[in-house]
Homo-oligomer: A and B are copies of this chain.
């Protein structure tokens, strides 16, 4: 369980994998909204829309997309399932509405510096960090929805 990360071959961003109609469906569905979606939800969603996809395919598509950096994975602490969201490449953080799930990508050097400073202060190097900000968006906070 405490094993170190296995080295995996660098994967050419895209063009290596044949697109596949079903994977495309997953991509499209994720691209549609900007909020979280669990694999199970995506599976159900696609089926309802008349696209009889297999659950395994959904997982495989998501897995591939994560590897390619197309989507982010997040595991809530209280929920058993992982949620995925479309996501631009590069380093950034998210501001998500805890009510409707809408997500805003945030990019700010301030946090980066902060993380670096804190780490350095304690003698840590090779710093990385993970930040998620939650809140209630203006729309959801509106008294009369």
Contact = CB atoms under 8 A, between A and B. Distances in A.
Interface string A121-144: 011111111111111111001000
Chain A interface size band reads 35 or more
A1 B129 contact: no
Interface string A80-108: 01100000000000010110010010101
Contact of A131 (B101, B131, B135): B131
A127 B118 contact: no
Interface stretch (A16-24, A49-57, A69-77): A69-77
A124 B137 contact: yes
26 contacts: A1-B38, A1-B40, A1-B79, A2-B41, A2-B101, A2-B134, A75-B75, A95-B124, A97-B124, A98-B128, A106-B118, A106-B122, A108-B114, A119-B133, A123-B138, A125-B136, A125-B141, A126-B135, A126-B136, A127-B134, A128-B135, A129-B133, A129-B134, A130-B130, A130-B131, A130-B133
Listed from nearest, the 7 A-B pairs whose CB atoms lie closest are A124-B135, A123-B138, A75-B75, A127-B135, A129-B133, A119-B135, A126-B136
